Amino acid sequence: MSQLKYANGGTFSVKQWGYYLEDRWQVTDNVLLSLGLRNENFENYNADNVLYVEQKDQWAPRLGLSWDVLGDSSFKLFANAGRYHLAMPNNVALRGAAGSLYTNEYFAFTGIDPVSGEPTGITPLGDGPYSTNREYGQAPDPASVAAKGLESHYQDEIVVGFENTIGDTFTYGARYVYRRLQSAIDDMCDYRPAYNWAIDNGYSEEVADNLGNALANCRLFNPGEANTFQLDDGTGTLVEVALSKEQLGFPELKRNYQGLDMFIERPFDGTWFGRIDYTLSKNYGNAEGQVKSDIGQTDVSQTQDWDHPELMENANGYLPNDRRHYIKAFGAYQITDEWRVSATASLASGRPKNCMGYYPDTPENEEFNALYAYGGPYYFYCNNQPTPRGSAGRLPWSKNLDVGVAYRPEFAGSRLEFGVDIFNVFNSQTEQNRIEYGENGGPGVPYNQAGRVVSYTLPRYARFSIRWDL
C-alpha cells in the first residue's frame, strides 16, 4: 500500500505591461501596408512577493499587407507576419517557486481488519517518504527557481490568403497559416548535467553532488538550448552553472503548425445566411505547449516533458491537438420577423494516439533506470521498442449537429429574445481520450487497461435563454 501527500499554496502575482505602436500607410490607392511593433514585459512573484522570473523588453514586430486587386473591394490579397509572446501564469509558482510537498511512502501489511476494512500490521518500506522531483516542502531561493535570462514562451506566425466574391451573393476565400514555436518554458529535474559540470570544473565530489541535487529539484529553463542556472552548493551559496545545449542533452525544441483554411459564405440578406469552413492542418513536433494533454497533465510549464533527456527520445511526432481535417457548416433562416432557426454541423478527424511505456531495461540503461528514471510508463517505448509520438493510429472522427430557435416578439421592440438550443442532436458519443500507457509494472509487461476510453464528447443537452438588448 502507499500514501500520497501533496500540499502547496500561497498568494502569487503576475505583472504584465506593454505598449504597441502602429502605422498604416496607403502605398497606392489599392495597397495598404500596416506596420506594428509591440513591447511586452512580464514579472512573476512568489508567495513572499519576491520576483523570481522576469522577461523585459520583448519586442514583437507585426507586418500586414492588403491589396485590393480590382479596386472595387471584390478581390483582396493579404499577408501578415508577427511574433506573439505568452506570459507564464501563476500556476507555475505553486510547485516551482513555493514550498511544495509531493511525496509517496510505501508500506507492507499483514492483514485486513474485518470490521473497519483497514490494513493491519503496517510496516514502512524503504527510507520514508520519497519525492520523484524532490518536493519535500522546502521553498527554493527565488534566484535559483529559473535559469538566468529565461525567455518567455513565444511563437512566430505567417499568414497569406485571399478573399473574393461571386456576384453580389457569395464570398469565398482561403489562407495559409504557418506557426513556429521559437521558445518554451518547462522544468528540468536531471542530476547529471550539474554534477558533471562541477567535476569538470574542479569542484569536490560533495559540492558536485549538492549542485546535482539542486538541479534535480526541478528548475525552470528554456528547452533545447543553452541555459545558465544558479544552484545551491550545499552551504546556501549559489554557484552559476552554465550548461550548453550538448551538456544538457536535450533535442532541439520543435513545434510547427501548418494549416490551409478555406471558406464559402452567403452573407445575411434579411432572410438567410450560411457558411462552410474547411481546415487541412498538421501540427508536428516535440512540444505541445504549456501542458501535456495526451496524459492529462495540466501543470503549466511544469510537465514531465524535458525533465530528463530520455523522456524526449522519440518525442517528435504528431502532437495531441493535431486534427488533420476539420469541417464546419452553420447558418440561420429568418422565418418571420419574429422567428429565426439556426443550425451548426461539424466534423473533425481524430487526434493521434500513443503507446507509452517504461524506459528499456537494457545494460546500457541500467544506471539511468536505477537512479533517475521515473518508475512508470512515461516514455515513448513499448515492449522495449521505440514508439514515436502519435504513431499508434488515430481516434475516430467527431461528428456533431446543434440546432436552435429564437423568438423576438414585436411587442418588445425586438429587444427581447427567447431562445432554445439543442446541442449534439443525435447524441453522438465519440471517444476523445484513451489511456495511452501500453505497459504497467515494468518494461514489456502489458497494461490490461491500455486503450480504455476515459472521456467522450458531451451528450445531448439543451439550453434555454432569455436575452434583452439595451
**Alpha-helical segments (H) within 372-429:** none
Which residues, listed in sequence order, are joined to residue 406 by a DSSP beta bridge? Answer: 340, 419
Mean of all residue pLDDT scores within the chain: 91
Q: Is 54 helix (H, G, I), strand (E, B) or coil?
A: strand
d(CA 211, CA 200): 13
Distances (CA, A) of 315 to 145, 287, 371, 384: 26, 8, 22, 15
d(CA 37, CA 58): 10
Percentages of the chain per state (helix, strand, coil), in multiples of 5: 10, 50, 40
How confident is the model at residue 206, as a pLDDT? Answer: 95
Residue written as cell 485571399? 162
Q: Structure pTM?
A: 0.86
How confident is the model at residue 150, as a pLDDT? Answer: 93
- What tens-digit pLDDT sequence spans the chain (470 residues)? 677 776 665 677 889 999 999 999 999 999 999 999 999 999 988 877 888 889 999 999 999 999 999 999 999 999 999 999 998 877 676 666 666 666 778 888 888 888 888 888 888 877 777 665 456 666 677 888 899 999 999 999 999 999 999 988 999 999 999 999 999 999 999 999 999 999 999 999 999 999 999 999 889 999 999 999 999 998 889 999 999 999 999 999 999 999 999 999 999 999 999 999 999 999 999 998 887 887 777 777 678 899 999 999 999 999 999 999 999 999 999 999 999 999 999 999 999 999 999 999 999 999 999 999 988 899 999 988 999 999 999 999 999 999 999 999 998 888 999 999 999 999 999 999 999 999 998 899 999 999 999 999 999 999 999 999 98
Residues 62-87 have pLDDT tens digits of 999 999 999 999 999 999 999 999 98
How confident is the model at residue 392, as a pLDDT? Answer: 94
Q: If you compute the radius of gyration of the chain from its CA atoms, what whole number of angstroms results? A: 28
Residue written as cell 431562445? 419
